[in-house]
Amino acid sequence: LYGIASLQTYHYFNTFVKDRLLLKVFVAGLWIIDTFHSICITHAVYHYAIANYMNPIVLTNGVWSIDLSTVISTLIACACQMFFTARVWILGRNRLITGICGALCLVRFALSVVTTWASFNVLPYVRYEHEFTWSIKAGLAVATASDIIIAAAMVYYLLRSRSGIQKTDRIVSRLLGMDVISYWCSVETCLLTSIITTADLICTNVLTSLRTVASVIFLGVYFQVSKLYTNALLTS
């Protein structure tokens, strides 16, 4: 997913050379943050799978790269959600929906700050899991709700904008992905990200109750969320 995002970024700068500087800075900044997120994940994998191979005691404590990746992932997600929220505003001019989406983004970021602070300061992992799993679950629930609202609003407003003119309707259908494959519609409207965050929320609720190594499987799903948001924005 990071490779696809890098390719999309390269394609963007080579294709949309006349875009506004602010948008170019936003895309470049998003790619840089996503790159740092990939570095954090790589470090975490190296720390647990290579540097501490056959040392299970290390699993009782987190590592700074995983702790930091939480807030980085949420920063990417919130930036992308705010971008899509702005698009919803442009399409519908609905203050209520735009306000709800914006508020959910802020709540999600605040919860990620709480989660990150706790992961750095509350040790060992068992205690952190017992006292602060609620912030992870709440953050994922808020993310899912926000994604569903954004996806539904964008599809609704784009469908409503059909004019009956063949050329215009073809453009709208292209934005919805109807003339390519339904997958693009899922990516470009945050539907796919809402599905993944829902799956991660289920994993968090079910697996953390096991109190075994399986309880951290949800991290594998969570690591992919920010990559999906980056690709969702770049493909749109």
Q: Which amino acid makes up residue 23? A: L
Judged by average pLDDT, the poorest of 22-31, 42-51, 186-195, 199-208 is 186-195
Dihedral (Cα; 44, 46, 49, 51), 10-degree rounding: -120
Tens digit of pLDDT for each residue in 132-177? 778 888 888 888 888 888 888 887 887 776 655 555 556 555 555 4
pTM comes to 0.79
Asked if 145 and 104 count as a contact pair (C-beta separation under 8 A), the reply is yes
**Residue 192, SS3?**
helix
pLDDT of the residue at 210:
58
Does residue 13 carry a pLDDT above 70?
yes
pLDDT in tens, 75-115: 898 898 899 889 889 888 889 999 999 999 899 889 888 88
- The percent of residues in the chain predicted with pLDDT above 90, rounded, is 12
Cα–Cα distance, 60 to 28 (Å, whole number): 37
pLDDT tens, 54-79? 887 777 777 888 888 888 888 898 89
